[in-house]
Amino acid sequence: MFPEVESLIDLDGYPVHELDRGAGRAMVEAARRTFDDTSLVVLDGFLRPAAVRRITEQSLADAARQGYRFTGSNNVYLGTEPTAGRSAELDRTYTKTTPAFDRIDSTSPLKALYGWEPLAQFIEAVVGRPVHRSADPLGAVTVHLHHDGDEQDWHFDVSEYTVVLHLHAPQAGGVLQYVPRSRTQLTQNHRALREIAAGRRHALTRDLPTVPGTFVLHAGRVSMHRVTPVHGPDPRISATLSYNISPGLRLNEYTRRLYFGRDR
């Protein structure tokens, strides 16, 4: 159905289309162990260089034409914890340009990847439960461009799982920092949450630099994370594909307005 998808991925290194054969099975086993241990799976060189170039060029064009640019602050819970999230000290800095799902070209390889069944099956095998693509008209698949000085500060995602594809690296900064499976602990320990939000490094904080072609699967709803400020003339570009544990789920209005400047 999506013949081009097979040319986007290094299927020799990552046989996601053959999960029930030897190499595919071994890959899933390894990814599953890593996900259990760290809340995250990183596959270097997952996208082929030509695919990275093509998606990057298209993303720059989509962003220049109709990317939404936001500067302000976001709540760490993105509207998913109405009471705990009301404190102004948990509102964090947020500046980036995001073309929404409906502004990403319909021929984009990102949409083909999202619709490709073997990728969804791989994610299910790694996280160990059924997953469903997001039904959000704006946020199901999104591109993020961080220019010099841009960042996305600490937050928990609305979606349960997110695939992040690294497309372009900045000269410096733009690191994904995350505190694995920290939601319950930090929601019960407001002081620790405030300290991380205020910039103090938590003992469990991990760093993931941006390397084009890399596939990242992470449990963004339970792992607090941020993208550190980007420095230099080259933007950091990433794309996110969102998954939930129930069908038909969407972002909330707060997050749609924050990310895209509109609710639909």
Q: Which of 108, 182, 223, 238 binds ligand AKG (CB under 6 A)?
A: 238
As a whole number of Å, the end-to-end CA separation of the chain is 28
Residue 94 to residue 74: CA distance in whole angstroms: 6
**Least separation, in Å, of the C-beta of 216 and ligand AKG?**
7
What is d(CA 145, CA 227) in angstroms, rounded to the nearest whole number? 11
Looking at the Cβ atoms of 10 and 134, the one nearer to Fe ion is 134
Footprint (CB under 6 A) of ligand AKG, residues 133-162: 144, 152, 157
Look at residue 253 and give its three-state secondary structure: helix
What sections of 67-116 are H helices per DSSP?
109-115
144 binds, among Fe ion, ligand AKG, none (CB under 5 to 8 A by kind): ligand AKG
Alpha-carbon distance of 8 to 14, in angstroms, equals 12
Q: Are 159 and 245 in contact (CB under 8 A)?
A: no
Of 97 and 118, nearer to Fe ion (C-beta) is: 97
127 contact, one of Fe ion, ligand AKG, none, CB 5-8 Å limit per kind: none
153 binds Fe ion (CB under 5 A): no
Q: Which is nearer to ligand AKG, 11 or 46 (CB)?
A: 46
* CA dihedral for 49, 55, 59, 62, sign (positive or negative): positive
Establish if 164 lies at the interface with ligand AKG (CB under 6 A): yes
**Per-residue binder mask for ligand AKG (CB under 6 A), 166-185, x = binder:** ----------x---------
The residue type at 214: T
Of 230, 228, 229, 187, the residue nearest 207 (C-alpha): 228
256 binds ligand AKG (CB under 6 A): no
Do 243 and 168 contact (CB within 8 A), yes or no?
no
Interacting residue with Fe ion among 151, 153, 157, 160 (CB under 5 A): 157
Taking CA 87 as the corner, what is the angle to CA 90 and CA 259, rounded to the nearest 5 degrees?
A: 55
Interface with Fe ion, residue 151, by CB under 5 A: no
- Which residue number places its CB atom closest to ligand AKG? 238
**Residue 164 partner contact from Fe ion, ligand AKG, none using kind-dependent CB cut-offs of 5 to 8 Å:** ligand AKG
Q: Are strands 68-75 and 91-98 parallel, antiparallel or unpaired?
A: antiparallel
Amino acid at 200: R
Q: In this complex, which beta carbon is closest to Fe ion, that of residue 10 or of residue 160?
A: 160
Determine if 221 is a binding residue for ligand AKG (CB under 6 A).
Answer: no
* Span of 68-76, 120-128, 150-158, 173-181 interacting with Fe ion by CB under 5 A: 150-158
* Number of residues located near ligand AKG, criterion CB under 6 A: 9
Q: What letter represents residue 3's amino acid?
A: P
Which residues are at the interface with ligand AKG (CB under 6 A)?
144, 152, 157, 164, 176, 225, 227, 238, 240
Which residues are at the interface with Fe ion (CB under 5 A)?
157, 220
